[in-house]
Each structure stands twice: as structure tokens, then as C-alpha cells.
Structure 1
Amino acid sequence: MGSVWTRYDSKALDQVHDNILKTVEESAYRSGRAVRFKRDQTELANGKHVIHSIECESMYRKDVNNDSPILLMHGYGAGSLLFANNLAGLAHETGRKVIAVDWLGFGASSRPKFKGKQVDDTVEWFLDTFDEWRATKNLEKFDMIAHSMGGYLGAFYCLGKGKGRVDNLVLASPVGVPHAPAEMKTSSNTLKILRKLWNWGVTPNHLVRGAGPYGHRLVEKAVNARFGDVDEERLGLSGGDLQTRTNVVDYLFHITAAPGSGEHALSKLLAPGAYAKKPLCEELPKLEGVNLLFVYGDRDWMDASAGERLAFSSLQHLPTAEVITVPGSHHVYLDHPEVFDKQVSTFFKENSCEKDSTRVNNRIRGYINSFYQVRHPRNHVCCLSS
């Protein structure tokens, strides 16, 4: 199934999944972290939708004290395959099954017509199918790592349908935490046009699809601009050769050029400037019984101070509320996967399900220079070098 004009091809998307997972598997084996991947297309009960996921388990390590999986939830415009190296790293670090899931309307999941009109029904559009997928997979308890828009949705899941199911929640560079500034000035005609396009629901995907046979080249230029000085090993997708970068470009092209669906949620959830219409600073204080970790990159365009303010004020009732800054940009899990995986794994191990364990409340951890970890006492904020 595909499109002659856009060059989107679902079979090609399947092939690039297999190519990248095979490459990461081989790389993990060579580094002594043997893992096994498994792709799954789960048909939901209504027979209309399929949710795609990638599972990963270590071949030699298993945590006998914790058999609940770790779920990875991607952000806007991304997909589960971008977590390939994190899947392997987390499976090795924790000895637990790790599952990366494509939200409905994204990645290799079904792409039905988007029906959301307001914030609440847009959130439900994603979470209804996600929870149905969870039930179909018989997942009662799990930990969650959710990035960007996925973090926004993941937070609402823990507040609603998933209440009591998630013990540990990691929000990686989450969108939608702070309030929008009191006054957002639009000073140029260009910005006014962009604001209108945003409100009309126009997305970058429209540009790629509209470019037809030239869409692939647009994605390639975007990848080179984003990762031009980054070798393929640090892309988190291993390989170290031209074919690896080609696979990454092909993957991003096919999930961008695929029929429009979940992408249209952006303007329903966020106002221009990427400020949430229903900000998490008002919602997360309602969270109960969850260990929470915010992770930001030291070159992140998301406002880490918003997470810090929240952790030190409205979230002190939680067992644990932490904020850490690690080397990287907004896609912090992709820039330095080994650092990200190590920190998240440590958080999970420190906040295991043992109710009698001692937990340290509201800490900020950071990296200085060569990723040396420094912990700071409660209610102490420090500046971290990059």
C-alpha cells in the first residue's frame, strides 16, 4: 500500500524497520549487550485499528524482582523506531522487557481520520486506543518513559485511564508544562501567517506530501541539518556508515509522508509557540502515588525551569519528584542514548516497587563536564555546565 505521488510505501516502511533493528541487534551483540527484538501489530477489539510496537529483551539479563515492562512513548512527528538503541540499552541495564509503542495516527500504527476538536477529546482519541492496546496485551502495571507530546499524553494517562498502573513516570523534555506568557506579540507579517497556518492545522507533513517525489529530499536535508555533525553511532541507530543514515532518512520520510492523522492533534493541544491550551503545571499536581522524573537536555528548547518550579512546589506530595539535565537537545534520548538510558535505569532501580524502601524526595541531578553525576539536596537549584 502506498502513494504514487508522495512515494510513501508501507512495505518500504516495514523493510526499514527490519533493517534498523537488525543493525542495532548486531551492534548490541558486538558490545556485549545481546538483545532480541520483536515487532508486533496488535489489532484492537473493534477491528478497525492496529497499534504497532517494538519489544526488546536482554538475552542474558533478567530482573527476577520486577517483571513489569518499561514503555517508551514517542513525541510529535516521531515513531517507535527512533527508540531502537534505547530499547537495547534499557533492556540491558534493567533486565526488563522494554516496549516502544506508536501512538494511533503515527509511525506504523493505523492512521484513521482525526476527529479531535478540543483538548479533552483529542487526548481521549489517543488514550482510548492506547489503553485498549494495553488491555489486549494484558499489561496491568508498567513504568513509562514519554517524550515531548508523548509526555503530555502520558501525563494525562497517569491522571485518568492509567491511574494506579504506572509506578514510575519519566517525562523526557515534555511539551506543555508552563503557562503561556501573558502577552505573546506577533510583530511581523510572517509570524501572523504562521499563526494562521497553525490554527488551520497545517503541519510540516503537508509540505513533504505536497512536494511529491521531492519530499524525500526535504526530509534528507532536515536530517542532515539536525544530525550533520553527529555520527551514526550517536544517532542511537548504530552502524557507522552511509546506509544507516539512509535508513533513518527513509524511516522519517515514510512516517511523515503517510496519510495524515495524528499530526492534526498539534493545533488542538497546543497554541502557537507550543504552549499547551491545558498546561501540565495545572494538571500534574493532581498526580498521586507516582515517582516522577523530568529529563531535559542542556541545549533543550523546552523550559527546564518550568519542570524545576513544579517539582519544588506543587509535586512535593509525590514519593519522588526529580529533575535532571543531561547532555543533548530536545531529542535527549537520541543525542546521547547511553547517558539517558543509564540515568533512567538508575531512577527505576532507586524507586522500585518495594514499599518499604527509602526514597529521596525532590532532587535535581545534573552532569558536569564528563557526565559526572552530582546530586543536590532538596529545594536547592544549581546551574549546570554544558
Structure 2
Amino acid sequence: MSEAVRKARFKNTVIEYDLFRAILSDDIYIEEPIEEKNAEEKGRQPENEVQDEEPHTRNVPLYAELLDIEIDEDVSIHELYLVNNTDPSVTETHLVIIHGYMAALGYFVKNVEPLLKSQPGLRLHVIDLPGFGNSSRPTFPKEFLTEPKTKAEKIKQIVDIENWFIDKLECWRKKRGIKKFKLVGHSMGAYLSCCYLMKYNKASDKVVDEFIAVSPMGTESSYNSLLNNKKHQKNYHGDEIDPFREIVDFDEEDVVTDELRSLWESLGQPKFPKNYILEKIWKYNKSPFQILQNFGPFYSKILSYWSYKRFRNLKTNEDEASNSSLDLILKLHSYSYSIFNQYQGSGEIAITKFINHEILARLPLCDRGLVEYLNETLVKSLWVYGDKDWMNQKGGLYIHDKLKEINPEISDFKIIEDAGHHIYLDNPESFNKTCIDFFHLCA
């Protein structure tokens, strides 16, 4: 890692620390990041190394720290790790939270404390996806940005891109020594969580038994699906050595039946604004991050406006005094600018391959064996949307209904009031209670 990158990463970690220190109660001790060059003289390890001694073995009831877990020499996963050690005798419970697109772990500022305090023994892992937030930004493979010629090649490319993320998540899990965990994924994070489950969470060796999909991306079938032929609807992360080998007729023309058209009409699609510029961005595999960064100084003003609109209703834990709330909003703006203003194109580029400019998936979750997988493994799932969500709740409801037809005990569906797409920010009280109730967390 170059000195410039090292300094930039440390600066971003300090901004993140300031954000959480501002919102967390004083009874939660959070480890202050230490710059690597000063770590030795201060008698502490660098902030990006995991401590040899696990935090929960210290005499601290509620503890938090920011970690960078090295996956290999080029990739690390950034994590906010929180420990509830109020009763050291209880069994540990691990809960992993994964953010969505144009987001990062810092946006869960209003959720981590209520979840942490809900149950003694809880180990809460809020992580940044590879190429997002303060995780490292490995070069996105150039072969993923080509336009494959055949349908089989297009499907394989998308599956390979999914693997680019979820293989790193599995490596992170093993590095952290987590054997069992509960999982929450939001939007693109929920989509990738489903892919992770279908590849790594086997019935014979189950690490996740409960999963919350929060306003998940890519649920509904549509004209954009590459899987509109039932012969191609399968789990491409399954156990087959080569799931493409047996299919020799990928490129036969799909027959769009009246039944299929009726399904598309009933499911609808996300209510995302149609935009010519956005359509061109997708065509040339550019992410909104890259476009905004070309605005120069005006980019900060755009982000300031977005920050104010996004976070204006947030309140601090202490009270609703305008000064403290304003300070929190400013810290969230500073944090947003620090994570979005990283010029190395990386994981965010994948969005143009997963979905089109109308937020319709090329490999929809409902068309790829997810229902059958969740039933086979008995993973309990909860599908959550906001009542003002622009994401299409009918897609998640369709998956939920299919699961209920097979097994009424393994799926639930919920609409949270007074919330848009970012439910955990818009209505944190209801979101936190929903998670606590579903996972049966209790003090």
C-alpha cells in the first residue's frame, strides 16, 4: 500500500470513528484508530490489524472497534465490530449486516446500539462490501466490463461478478472464525446475500439459518431477465461442477407467453425515475460515482444537498436539540464525502451488470432457484419494505408467497410505515424492533 493510500484510509477511518462516537452512548467504549506509524510508540497495534486478544475477553461490557480484515495482500474487508459482554456466561450470537449500493456501514448509525444492547453475548459485524466504503478497492476485472455475445456467456459473466463479491465475504467469515451467524442485507447487499447463501450456505453445513432481506434489489421477473426460459431457471451457484455444461440451447429464442406477460404486469417494477443520462451510464458501464466525481468542486455541493435531504430527520440519542442533530448530519455528510470521493473504480461498477437502468435484474432472484433453495435448507427469511419505498415490494412478496405455498413456517413479509428505500434510516425504531423480533434477540 502506498503512503498516500495509507494516509487517506486512516483519515477516512478517523471520520468514521467520529461519526460513531457522536451517536453511540458513553457506556459503549469504541477503540480510537491509531495511525500505523504511531502505533509502536503508543504501545498499540495499527488500526487495520485484528487484535490478538478478542475484545470480548477484556473487562468492557459494551465494546466497539473498526477493523480491516485482510483477505489477501490486495483486499481487505472493513468492519465495525461491536460486542455485548454484559453477561460473559451466555453463548455468543453473531449478526452480520451488509449495506446496499451507494451506501456503507456508517449509514447504520441509528441501528447498531439498539441491536447491540438487545441481547447479551451478541457480536455485531457491520461490514463494507469489497470496493465500497472503507474496504479496499481492488481493480475491477476488465473482462467483467466486456459485452458477451451469447446468452450463456452473459449469464456466466454475471455469476462470476457475483462470485467476485461473495467469495471475498466467505473468506472474511473464515478469517473471523464465525461458524454461525444471522444475516441482514439491504438492497444490492440483500441481492448479494442471496447469492452468498445459495453458494456457501448448504443444508449439510449451514452457517446461516435466519435472513432479513431489506428492500432487496433484483427480485422480480421482467423482460430484462436472461432466464425467461424455465429450462434455464436454476441455482447457478449450486453444487454442479459446471452449471452451463448441460445447457446447449441457451440461445434459442425465449417464447414470451401470455402467462409470462401477465406475470410481468402483475409484478410491476421499481418506481425509479426514468432518465436518459442514467440509461447512457449503463450502456457504457459507468457508475454514478464516476460521473459525479467529474463535476469537480460542484460534486461537494451535490453531495451536500443529498446529505441534507437524506439525513435531515435524524436525531441524536441524547435529545432532539437542533445543534446536536445538525452536528450528526454534518458528520454524516463528511463521512459520505469520504467514502464516495474515492477515485479507484471498483465494486460499484458491477451495478451496471446486475441490473439495467430501470433497476431490473438480468438474473432475477425469483427465476434462479432461490425459493427451492430456501425451502431445501429451511433458512427462515423476512422480506421487508418501506411504505414509501421506490423498490418494488411485489417482487419480494412474490418470493414470499411462493415460499408460503411450500412451507408456511419459513417466510414472512412486512411493510414498515414512514419509510422509503433506506428503511433503517427513515424509521430506525421500527426497523430495529423488526430485526430484534425476527431474530428473537432479547435482553
2:314 counterpart of 1:231: yes
Secondary structure of the residue aligned to 2:200 is coil
How far the C-alpha of 1:337 sits from its partner, in A, is 1.4
C-alpha distance in structure 1 between counterparts of 2:87 and 2:112, whole Å: 14
Q: Counterpart amino acid of 1:173?
A: S
1:221 aligns with 2:311: no
Residue 57 (structure 1) aligned with residue 83 (structure 2):
yes
2:99 is matched with which residue? Answer: 74
Match 1:149 to one of 171, 178, 188: 188
Q: Which residue of 1 aligns with 2:220?
A: 178
CA distances 1:65-97 after superposition (whole Å, capped 9, x unpaired): x52300000001111111133121111123311
- C-alpha separation in 2, matches of 1:180 and 1:62: 50
Q: Is the 8 A contact 2:316 2:325 kept in 1?
A: no
The residue number in structure 1 matching 2:65 is: 38
In structure 1, the residue matched to 2:9 is: 10
| TM-score normalised to structure 1 length | 0.79
AA at the equivalent of 2:14: Q
With over 3 angstroms needed to count, the CA separation of the structure-2 counterparts of 1:14 and 1:312, relative to structure 1, is: same
8 Å Cα contact 2:118-2:436 kept in structure 1: yes
Q: Distance in 2 between matches of 1:269 and 1:15?
A: 33
Equivalent in 331, 347, 358 of residue 273 of structure 1: 358
Larger mean CA deviation between 194-203 and 14-23 belongs to 194-203
Q: How does 1:252-263 map to 2 (within 5 A)?
A: 252-258=336-342, 259-263=344-348
Q: CA deviation at 1:180?
A: 2.2
Write the letter of the residue equivalent to 1:37: A
Inter-partner Cα distance in structure 1 for 2:304 and 2:337: 8
Q: Secondary structure at the match of 2:86?
A: coil
- Give 1:211 shift: 2.3
Matched, 1:161 2:187: no
Contact 1:73 / 1:101 at 8 angstroms: preserved in 2?
A: yes
**1:71–1:224: structure 2 CA closer, same or farther, 3 Å change rule?**
same
1:197 correspondence with 2:281: yes
Question: For residues 200-258 of structure 1, what are the alpha-carbon distances to aligned partners after superposition, in whole Å with 9 as ceiling and x for unaligned?
Answer: 12222123321233322221111122334x13339xx9983332111101111111111
Shift of 1:10: 3.0
SS in 2 for 1:169: strand
Q: Indicate if the aligned counterparts of 1:171 and 1:294 stay in contact, CA closer than 8 A.
A: yes
Q: Which residue of 2 aligns with 1:329?
A: 420
* Structure 1 residue 192: Cα displacement: 4.4
CA deviations over 1:242-276 (Å, ceiling 9, x no partner): 32111101111111111221110101111221011
Secondary structure in structure 1 of the residue aligned to 2:348: helix
Change (3 A) 1:214 1:91: same
TM-superposed deviation, 1:135: 0.6
Q: 3-state DSSP class of the match of 1:124?
A: helix
1:302 to 391, 398, 419: 391
> Comparing both structures, which one devotes a greater share of its residues to strand?
1
Q: Which amino acid aligns with 1:336?
A: N
Q: Which has the larger radius of gyration?
A: 2
Change (3 A) 1:214 1:194: closer
Q: Is the 8 A contact 1:114 1:262 kept in 2?
A: yes
Distance across 1 between alignment mates of 2:27 and 2:315:
14
Partner residue in 2 for 1:358:
none
Distance 1:350 1:322, change over 3 A: farther
When structure 1 is superposed on structure 2, of 296-305 and 86-95 the one drifting more is 86-95
Distance 1:94 1:317 in 2: 32
Task: Provide the secondary structure at the position in 1 that maps to 2:388.
Answer: coil
- The AA in structure 2 aligned to 1:19 is D
Letter in 2 for 1:299: K
Q: Work out the CA distance in 2 between the residues paired with 1:220 and 1:89.
A: 28
Q: Which deviates more, 247-256 or 9-18?
A: 9-18
Q: Please state how far the C-alpha of 1:22 moved relative to its aligned partner.
A: 1.1
Q: Could you tell me how far 1:193 is from its partner in structure 2?
A: 4.5
Give the partner amino acid of 1:158.
L
Does the residue aligned with 2:213 lie in a helix, a strand or coil? strand
SS in 2 for 1:105: coil
Q: Residue type of the partner of 1:278?
A: L
Give the superposition deviation at 1:57: 2.2
Task: Flag structure 2 segments of 5+ consecutive residues without an equivalent.
Answer: 29-60, 146-156, 224-260, 269-273
2:64 partner letter: F
1:340 aligns with 2:418: no
**Preserved CA contact (<8 Å) 2:20 2:109:** yes
CA distance in 1, matches of 2:289, 2:218: 21
Alpha-carbon distance in structure 2 between the residues aligned to 1:317 and 1:213: 55
Superposed CA offset, 1:340-377 (max 9, x none)? 111111111189xxxxxxxxxxxxxxxxxxxxxxxxxx
Task: State the match for 2:115 in structure 1.
Answer: 90
The Cα of 1:126 is off from its aligned counterpart by 0.3
Shift of 1:25: 2.1
Residues 31-82 of structure 1, C-alpha deviations (whole Å, 9 max, x = no match): xxx84211111112x3221111001123536782x52300000001111111
| Contact 1:21 1:37 survives alignment (8 Å) | no
CA drift at 1:154 = 0.1
State the distance in 1 between where 2:165 and 2:75 align.
12
Of 209-218 and 283-292, more deviation after overlay is shown by 209-218
Structure 2 CA distance, aligned partners of 1:38 and 1:20?
A: 13
Q: Is residue 208–residue 215 contact of structure 1 (8 Å, CA) maintained in 2?
A: yes
